[in-house]
């Protein structure tokens, strides 16, 4: 597929007890690499996304550590916000 830049870095990352795929992608405008996590809940049994995801959905960051930290923060926010 022409134009697809998203790549799987790690097929399974456990963050706060939940399963994610760690990805890298290239920003379409400034061509910088960013990283993100995709929940297994958003992937079907064939590894295809169930819905279109944006940067907020993937908790993107400029590094792997930042992307994982952003996901941890997002999970903690949901836990504390929906109590």
Number of domains in the chain: 1
Contacts of 55-58 with CB under 8 Å at 24 or more apart are 58/23
- 4 confidence band (pLDDT: 50, 70, 90): low
52: in domain? yes
Does residue 1 sit within a domain?
no
Q: What is the pTM of this model?
A: 0.82
Residue 65 lies in a domain: yes
Strands of the sheet containing 33-39, edge to edge, are 7-15, 18-26, 33-39
Q: Does the pLDDT of residue 2 top 60, yes or no?
A: no
> How far, in Å, CA of 22 to CA of 30, rounded?
21
What pLDDT score does 1 carry? Answer: 44
| Separation between Cα atoms, residue 41 and residue 66, nearest integer Å | 21
Could you tell me if residue 49 is inside a domain?
yes
Does residue 14 lie within any of the structural domains? yes
pLDDT tens for 26-81 read 988 888 999 999 999 999 988 889 999 988 999 999 999 999 999 999 998 877 77
Mean pLDDT score, 19-31: 91
Domain that holds residue 26: 7-81
């Amino acid at each position: 597929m022409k134009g697809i830049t998203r790549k799987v870095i790690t097929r399974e990352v456990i963050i706060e007890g939940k399963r994610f795929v760690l990805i890298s992608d290239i920003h379409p405008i400034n061509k910088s690499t960013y990283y993100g996590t995709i929940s297994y809940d958003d992937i079907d049994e064939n590894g295809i996304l169930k819905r279109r995801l944006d940067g907020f959905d993937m908790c993107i960051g400029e590094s792997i550590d930042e992307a994982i930290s952003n996901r941890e923060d997002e999970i903690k926010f949901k836990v504390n916000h929906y109590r």
